[in-house]
Amino acid sequence: MLRKIFNPARLSRFQRTMVTVSSSDALVSTEVDDKTGYATVTLNRAPVNSLSLELMTEIVKTVDELERSNIRGMVLTSFSNKVFCAGLDIMEMVNPDLDRLRAVWTRLQDTWASLYGTSFPTVALINGHAPAGGCLLALCCEYRVMCNNFNIGLNETQLGLAVPPWLQGTMRQTIGTREAEIHCIKGTMFNSQDALKIGLVDELAAENGEAMQRALHYLNTFKQMSPYARSATKLLMRNKDIEDMKRGRKEDVERFVENVMNSDFQNGLTVYLQSLKNRKNK
Ligand SMILES: CCCCC/C=C\C/C=C\CC/C=C/CC(=O)SCCNC(=O)CCNC(=O)[C@H](O)C(C)(C)COP(=O)(O)OP(=O)(O)OC[C@H]1O[C@@H](n2cnc3c(N)ncnc32)[C@H](O)[C@@H]1OP(=O)(O)O
């Protein structure tokens, strides 16, 4: 079933409403340019925008608000010019409370579904590293502009985590079945140049300003187009994936919980955290 797009009231509002949305706390900040109707959504959780339950809740809330305010496009970016998003907050997985762990995975599913299923065009301005869940956020957007000299990829298997089917699907759709299979299994991290070559990102930029220009250029390509035809086509392509994820979401949560509670995984996580700290101290 199509969501969001067959609502005439919503389409008439599109012509006149331009609302500036701001998040209730500082984890996500949103600015809407009244002239263009484009929103810039900035992830703002220092130091590395790791996806805690609270950050994901804010992302979902922000996207929902933007959907209601009928913006014409969105650029997703990071406050840091070094890390776009470091993936799921590892601390959420260290000896976790089970209810919270379930909520974390459920909210990651929601984050994927809401960003992947926006009716408006979305661009990820990847101004820093984007491993695992960071790559997920970028993949949900329609278009990706990445600054040079960073890394991106679904490295979950390197960490002892399985990549869930819905995220595999988004990777397949972006880089093709054969490459997605190889690189999800290997957990490959790509540098910016290689990410461009394989189609994981669409354009490279030397720095943030240039990346923003390229992102806006993508959004401008829809200026003269009927928002209805655009969003209907996008959602007709994407809605089935979202419905499939929703049908399997409970099993997906339980697989994640089982994966994380495994003692080998917990031991590996301690070693991994230590390696991050050691790298920093070198
Ligand atoms: C069908 C089966 C279903 C089963 C489902 C199971 C799993 C599902 C799998 C996939 C779906 C998507 C989910 C993905 C899971 C993840 O996202 S796991 C997280 C993966 N992320 C990483 O591995 C990134 C680790 N971080 C880094 O590599 C680097 O930090 C960086 C991002 C490259 C940045 O480097 P930089 O030098 O700038 O900073 P520091 O390394 O010094 O880091 C600063 C500070 O931040 C802490 N930190 C870094 N990353 C995280 C993180 N992800 N979570 C929490 N904290 C993080 C780091 O430890 C430092 O802390 P400090 O020493 O206390 O200052």
Indicate the SS3 state at residue 199: coil
Q: How far is CA 218 from CA 72, 94, 215, 269, in A?
A: 12, 40, 5, 39
pLDDT over threshold 50, residue 154: yes
pLDDT over threshold 90, residue 21: no
pLDDT over threshold 60, residue 185: yes
Closest CA to 222 of 214, 230, 211, 233: 230
Cβ of 156 less than 6 Å from ligand 1: yes
DSSP code at position 235: H
pLDDT over threshold 90, residue 135: yes
Task: Using the mean position of ligand 1's atoms as its centre, give its distance from the Cα of residue 135 in Å.
Answer: 12
Which residue's C-alpha comes closest to atom 39 of ligand 1? 48
| Mean pLDDT, residues 39-60 taken together | 98
Encode pLDDT of 240-262 as tens digits.
999 999 999 999 999 999 999 99
Encode pLDDT of 210-239 as tens digits.
999 999 999 999 999 999 999 999 999 999
Indicate the top mutation candidate among 49, 53, 56, 90 to test ligand 1's pocket, ranked by most ligand atoms within 8 A of CB.
90
Task: Using the mean position of ligand 1's atoms as its centre, give its distance from the Cα of residue 37 in Å.
Answer: 33
- Measured CA to CA, the distance from residue 21 to residue 187 in angstroms comes to 36
Split at pLDDT 50, 70, 90, the class of 7 is very low
Encode pLDDT of 69-127 as tens digits.
989 999 999 999 999 999 999 999 999 999 999 999 999 999 999 999 999 999 999 99
Indicate the SS3 state at residue 153: strand
Task: Using the mean position of ligand 1's atoms as its centre, give its distance from the Cα of residue 59 in Å.
Answer: 18
Percent of the chain surpassing pLDDT 70: 91
Cβ of 276 less than 6 Å from ligand 1: yes
Closest CA to 200 of 264, 139, 149: 139
| Mean pLDDT, residues 153-160 taken together | 91
| Mean pLDDT, residues 156-178 taken together | 94
- Measured CA to CA, the distance from residue 8 to residue 232 in angstroms comes to 13
pLDDT of residue 25: 58
Task: Using the mean position of ligand 1's atoms as its centre, give its distance from the Cα of residue 16 in Å.
Answer: 42
- Measured CA to CA, the distance from residue 273 to residue 95 in angstroms comes to 13
Token pair 């998040």 is found at: 23
Q: How far is CA 228 from CA 8, 11, 15, 171, 231, in A?
A: 10, 8, 12, 26, 5
What's CA 80's distance to the chain center, in Å?
Answer: 16
Question: Which range among 11-20, 127-136, 178-187 shows the weakest confidence by mean pLDDT?
Answer: 11-20
Cβ of 92 less than 6 Å from ligand 1: no
Contact 147, 208 (CB under 8 A): yes
Cβ of 161 less than 6 Å from ligand 1: yes
Full DSSP string of 10-72: HHHHHHH-------SSTTEEEEE-TTT-EEEEEE--TTT--B-HHHHHHHHHHHHHHHHHT-S
Residues recognised as catalytic: 88, 133, 155-156
pLDDT over threshold 70, residue 14: no
| Mean pLDDT, residues 143-157 taken together | 97
pLDDT over threshold 90, residue 277: no
Contact 228, 11 (CB under 8 A): yes
How are beta strands 190-191 and 151-153 bridged, if at all? antiparallel
- Measured CA to CA, the distance from residue 152 to residue 199 in angstroms comes to 12
Task: Using the mean position of ligand 1's atoms as its centre, give its distance from the Cα of residue 41 in Å.
Answer: 21
Indicate the top mutation candidate among 276, 278, 279, 281 to test ligand 1's pocket, ranked by most ligand atoms within 8 A of CB.
276
Indicate the top mutation candidate among 48, 52, 94 to test ligand 1's pocket, ranked by most ligand atoms within 8 A of CB.
48
Cβ of 278 less than 6 Å from ligand 1: no
Which residue's C-alpha comes closest to atom 43 of ligand 1? 48
Split at pLDDT 50, 70, 90, the class of 160 is confident
